[in-house]
Chain A
């Protein structure tokens, strides 16, 4: 099995008395798209900056692309990773080509390969025709794509994307997402911070929810199962006469709760066994059944559940 692309152990960062994040321990597999979610101020960008060697951790250790974070390893590590900050950070008075040529120089791309590498990166992000445009004349979406092209110049092993779709319109957002999906096939490990839960759900193999401390790490499906018991939604034309007796008569039912007029949520571990029995019981009780369906939990439900728990704890 491949060594993890990122391994953090007890990673902590404090700015004076303020804690940006505390005791982060997680691993990201090679070639994985890993989502890092959290509310504003949760420490996502600071985590990217620490793992990208821009700032030093206060405590703990980490390894990125097989190189341990440390005083002497910064330059070696920066050769293997690329970071796309939230702000595209393009030189507006320079052309797209000049911008990328500068970074090719900083990454030490051999002179003979610079032009080819720039054109190939721009082609990957669908900007081959904008080579000679001034960065200042590009829309925010195009600048974001050019910034993504810039991170591809060095063929990084680990790519940190900090809110790559922040502030983009829906079309530009979709384009950037498609580019990230495309990266999956190239085998590069992607560490993606985002506010957009649908984006994380669609793109990420696993996600972590951060709120100063790491709340959970796992696959979206596993997290849903972990946080929410599986349940069936029942909807009838008129409210049931005695729902407690009806649901209580089925052995598999772990619990139930009303969910509006003539609507109920019935919880059970094994929905495949429960659903046929529940259907028969409802029909036998003379209920006009409008709907019986598994309750779908989204990543947003998981996220809000965790963040709300933190708010409750703070109160």
Chain B
């Protein structure tokens, strides 16, 4: 991380911490997300067929990907448009900071808290399942492929989500519109993770790793596209070279 990226990262974290809307979203979305798997698993009755249990666990697992997918889009909305509205972006763009340093700093400041929250929720869920749930639930949840998927997919999904959010933010003029459009744009990714969570694709460590590689490639392509879109002139005026 370059010193300038670190400066952007630190500033973004400080600013986000004091943004009541962001803080409220960061608290309430995870609470909502953790309730889904808890209530789903609690609703499983002894004697339920295995296919039903699998579906319930699949839905529960999927909910852990909501945080890294949705939360960054909320933050990204403020990253460019919020700054432009406040008039803070122009002074920043007059400094020697490179576009890439600015984008990576902003992305890290969104990804790090979102991934931390996702991991924390998963640890709570897994500890609770292992200590208190029925053996069939433990068997389905306590899978290495599931653990690897959460560990690898959370940062990769979060990164994808922040690039999409930044791309929309660069082209949009309204924070709320940008957040809603970004939310819609990342939904297909939720569909892909659903294939894994609901065992449409038989989960395995190999599949989780292959999925992670695929997501990594998608993130790379998304990064290249955002870099191309992030043009100082376009951001400050309606015109630009892109």
Contacts and interface: CB of A to CB of B under 8 A. Distances in A.
Interface residues of A, number: 38
A147 B89 CA distance: 13
B3 A105 contact: yes
A115 interface: no
B15 A94 contact: yes
A78 B94 contact: yes
Nearest to A147: B91
A89 B95 contact: no
A55 B233 contact: yes
Main secondary structure of the interface of B (DSSP, over half): helix
Contacts of A111: 3
Interface string A275-294: 00000000000000000000
Contacts of B237: 15, 55
A93 B16 CA distance: 9
A107 B233 contact: no
B11 A94 contact: yes
A50 to B, nearest CB: 10
A106 B10 CA distance: 12
Interface string B103-117: 000000000000000
A84 B92 CA distance: 10
B98 interface: yes
A6 interface: no
Contact of B96 (A89, A90, A107): A107
B96 A56 contact: no
B96 A85 contact: no
A41 to B, nearest CB: 14
A89 B6 contact: no
Contact of B11 (A78, A87, A98, A154): A98
Interface string B1-23: 00110111011001100110000
Interface of A: 15-16, 49, 52-56, 75-76, 78-79, 81-85, 87-94, 98, 101-108, 111, 147, 150, 154
List of 10 A-B pairs having minimum Cβ-Cβ separation, nearest first: A105-B7, A87-B87, A93-B18, A106-B95, A83-B94, A102-B11, A55-B233, A89-B87, A89-B91, A78-B96
